[in-house]
Amino acid sequence: MKKLLQNVNKVNGQISDIAVCSLKIMLILLSVLLLLMNILCFSDLVDNTETVEYHIGIPVLKILFCASLLFIISIFYNSDVIDKMQQNLLEKILFISAAVGSILWIFSAYDVPKFDPFSILDAAEHFLANDYSALSSKGRYLQRYPFQLPFSLYVEQIYRITGPGRYLILRLLNVLYVIGIYKYIINIFKFVIHNEKERKLAVLLLFLCWQPVFLSTFIYPLIPSLLFYLMSVHEFMNFYFYNKKRRLIFSGLFLGMSILLKSNMWIGYIAFSILIILIVMRGTVSRQIFSVLLIALSFVLVRSNTVKLYYECQSGYQIEDGTPNILWVAMGLQESNKAPGWYNGFPYNTLKSVDFSTEKAAEIGRTSVKESIDKFVSDPMYAIKFFLKKELSQWCEPTYECFNLSYNREHEKPLGNLALSMYVGTAHELLLFEFHSFQIICIFGFLIYCVRIKIENICFDQLIIPLTILGGFIFHTFWEGKSQYIFPYYMMMIPFSISGLLSIFESKKDR
């Protein structure tokens, strides 16, 4: 019996090694693809709208900027200047800079919420007055997108404290979430970068990442959901590295909160699931590790159903299942006047055409998917162009719509010179240059990190985020396209990117 168990463990270990090797190959291929895409193409949002314009060509100046940055890193790495700096002081300066920058931007843009944020805020404001008309028919926003109810409840509770319509408070809370994102990226540094000097350099490099600051005006689950996911990964790393089992509870709760706020974070749940299975197959950790998945799943199911029941009891209206997922896939495989696979109104128009019958709409969606697949199969060149342009529009657009989300809106006061320069002037062009250059160097660093993954002595906890990024790439290839949706994956990539970049200089120093 003992020999049988040993054989089973040996086979499980071999399967785990093969899986990790396959994952490493896929991550390297993804990194190479993203790097080539970003070197050869820069995607721009025309006049800060969602219309994508492709700029094809080798960006010589950006490559020179990246090379110069690597040269500067090399100088700092081999000098004692960094040794004299205090890690805590660097972090505080980063957090203060992010807070000040976010607050200045909020008061410079001062845009009035529109589209999805407006629908959520407006519903929450009416809920506060016991007016639940936002749930009165299948065509209303929250009936079509019931997954937004948890965020709507969050807004409602904030309004109970501040009074209705005080969405400025929600933006100031976003500032805290932005600081939290930087904080937990730094916390993850501590697990993937083991040299104190390199950690200080990593913090300095974070000063080049300003997209979260400009997204602080965006009242939507995007930012808090990312923060909770980073917190979940950090807690899991604490468990895996220090064997602190209570951390599994927090990891599961934070993962559940992330999914509850943004359903796309099920991608992260799948990444956790795959890695946990591989860890158990290696036999290095007890099966208690599955509690992360159970806690997260239970949290999501209980909280989402509780929120749904709460609003059903309060309103007296039944909350439907919402827009069928197949409609988003169908749209993700269609043309759009913005970019291939981007929003073209198909989900709403389909639902409206069948009087918001989800069954009939789902059938139309399945038919549309089949038609798109048939078209791709019959015309492979069209399929290649379609998916290439879709990926370029999402993964080569370095602002992640941080300007678009506040520019083409009504503003509470006229935009000042600084804001206009940030949106459409010289400052905007400089930021686009820096954002895309930093994105290129991040992908380059991520590629190095993936190449250096050691299958024999793998730290499984450090594969959760790379696997999430891979899952995000696959998911958004077929789902609705938007560069905004790619923002979390690039932010997740940063700790591993910087770790990969700094490993270059570590290797040279060892020689």
User: Tens digits of per-residue pLDDT, 385-408?
Assistant: 999 999 999 999 999 999 999 998
Q: Is the pLDDT of residue 353 over 90?
A: yes
- Under the banding of pLDDT at 50, 70 and 90, the label for residue 281 is confident
Say if residue 51's pLDDT is above 70: yes
Work out the mean pLDDT of the chain and round it to a whole number.
91
The mean per-residue pLDDT over the stretch 234-248 comes to: 88
Rounded percentage of the chain residues whose pLDDT exceeds 70? 95
User: What residue type is assigned to position 286 of the chain?
Assistant: S
Q: Give residue 285's pLDDT.
A: 63
When pLDDT is averaged across residues 18-44 and rounded to a whole number, the result is 94
| 280 pLDDT more than 90 | no
CB 174 within 8 Å of CB 218 = yes
Confidence of residue 224 (pLDDT cuts 50, 70, 90): very high
- Nearest of 33, 219, 225, 214 to residue 122 by alpha carbon: 219
Q: Write the pLDDT tens digit of every residue in 138-159.
A: 899 999 999 999 999 999 999 9
User: Would the CA dihedral through 424, 217, 176, 295 be positive or negative?
Assistant: negative
Residue with the larger pLDDT of the pair 505 and 425: 425
**Is 306 within 8 Å of 359 (Cβ atoms)?**
no
Distance CA 157, CA 166 (A): 12
- At residue 5, the pLDDT reads 53
Residues whose CB is less than 8 angstroms from the CB of residue 496 and which lie 6 or more positions away in sequence, other chains included: 192, 445, 446, 449, 462, 465, 466
Residue percentage of the chain with pLDDT more than 90? 75
Q: What is the pLDDT of residue 8?
A: 55
Residue type for position 233: V
Q: Does the pLDDT at position 434 exceed 60?
A: yes
Instruction: For residue 53, give the 3-state DSSP assignment.
Output: strand
CA–CA gap between residue 289 and residue 242 (Å, rounded): 13
Distance, CA of 53 to CA of 71 (rounded, Å)? 32
Q: Looking at residue 279, what is its pLDDT?
A: 82
Using alpha carbons, select from 500, 484, 483 the residue that is nearest to residue 37. 483
Torsion-angle region of 357 (φ positive above 0: left; ψ -120 to 50: alpha; else: beta): beta
The arithmetic mean of pLDDT across residues 424-446, rounded, is 96
Give the span between the Cα atoms of 6 and 501, in whole angstroms: 40
Q: Given pLDDT bands bounded at 50, 70 and 90, which one contains residue 14?
A: confident
Q: Which residue has the higher pLDDT, 382 or 58?
A: 382
Q: Whose structure tokens read 């090797």?
A: 21
Q: Can you give the pLDDT at residue 268?
A: 94
Average pLDDT over residues 295-299: 81
pLDDT at 26 over 60: yes
Residue 278 has pLDDT above 70, yes or no: yes
**Which carries the bigger pLDDT value, residue 432 or residue 275?**
432
What's the CA gap between 200 and 206, in Å, rounded? 10
| pTM given for the model | 0.95
Q: Say how far apart CA 20 and CA 474 lie, in whole Å.
A: 18
Angle of helix 487-510 versus helix 426-451 axis, rounded to 10: 60
| Three-state DSSP class for residue 16 | helix
Q: Which of 435, 447, 448 is nearest to 65 (CA)?
A: 435
**Residue 48, both tokens:** 């800060």
**Does the pLDDT value for residue 482 go beyond 70?**
yes
* Other residues' Cβ atoms within 10 Å of the Cβ of residue 444: 21
Rg (the chain; Cα; Å): 23
**pLDDT reported for residue 408:** 86
| Distance between CA atoms of residues 133 and 315, nearest Å | 8
pLDDT for position 286: 62
Is residue 511 pLDDT above 80, yes or no? no
Give residue 506's pLDDT.
Answer: 72
CA pair distance 450, 28, nearest whole angstrom: 6
Q: What is the largest CA-CA distance in the chain?
A: 78
Instruction: Yes or no: say if 390 and 480 are a contact pair by the CB < 8 Å rule.
Output: no
Region 90-110: mean pLDDT is 96
CB distance 399 to 50 below 8 Å: no
